[in-house]
Copies of this chain bind each other. A is one copy, B any other.
């Protein structure tokens, strides 16, 4: 049974919402960036378990940011990536290798 993106956002809301709202977007973004830095370090030097934990933290803080900003991550990602690459509209992507993304 795989967790849905919507469930993930709800779990983070249930767990942290009152703290998140007191902290606000700016303070939350700083926590998010700290986790991004830890992910960078784990990608260079970490064990698989450490990398997994840091990916989880970045995803959780991204969900927190989305909660505070009032964004539905599930709808956002389905709208942009649910129909193939947003650049070429194909799966797999056939955009030039140097092109974004």
Interface residues of A (CB under 8 A from B): 2-8, 11-12, 14-19, 22, 25, 29, 31, 33, 36, 39-40, 43, 48, 51-53, 55-62, 65-66, 69-82, 84-85, 91-93, 97, 100-101
User: With A4-B3, A4-B4, A92-B14 given, is the CB distance from A80 to B57 under 8 Å?
Assistant: yes
Shortest A68–chain B CB gap in Å is 9
A52 touches B74 (CB 8 A): no
A43 touches B69 (CB 8 A): yes
| 8 A-B pairs in the complex with CB atoms less than 8 angstroms apart | A2-B6, A3-B4, A33-B36, A52-B76, A55-B71, A56-B73, A56-B81, A59-B59
